[in-house]
Structure 1
Amino acid sequence: MEILLWLAPALVVTVVAMVWVSWVGRDGHGEIDRDVAVERLGKALAKELPAGTRRTTSPARDRSTGIAVRPSHGSASTGDGTRRAS
């Protein structure tokens, strides 16, 4: 039983952290009215961004699937129309 005493500090820290998180995250702590929150969001979305900070869409790039595919015809064909393993 004495060998488990080294776990006591970690247990105390864990319990204190759990109590602190439950106190900070309780209902009503820092809560604002829903209508006020919606009004703030509407103002923020309606605000025009400065010209230098507008995001432009990046050009669509060809997405690689990670699989190499050999062409079915090309300079590596044998001429008789059959494909051979290399």
Structure 2
Amino acid sequence: MQLSVEISKYPLHSDYIPFIKSFIDRVNQHGELQVITNTMSTQIFGEYDVVMGVLQKEMKASYEQFGKSVFVCKFISGDLSPEV
């Protein structure tokens, strides 16, 4: 089953850009996912179990490395990636 996720990270820190960039960079290292980032959010598309595994791993790494953050996510079944 395919999954589409829109995710935004809100670090509870005044210097928030490196915190967000680190998460996006780590998610982009997973070549089995399609990742699209814009100024408002990051969209992730791929196989359900792969997407959920990557999010679990990378969100935990973010908390361990940077401390408190808020993640806001929308999960939609199916592949809603834009046609290229």
Q: TM-score, normalised by structure 2?
A: 0.25
Which one has more relative contact order, counting CA pairs under 8 Å at least 6 apart?
A: 2
Question: Which one has the largest radius of gyration?
Answer: 1
Structure number with higher helix proportion: 1
Structure number with higher strand proportion: 2
Q: TM-score, normalised by structure 1?
A: 0.24
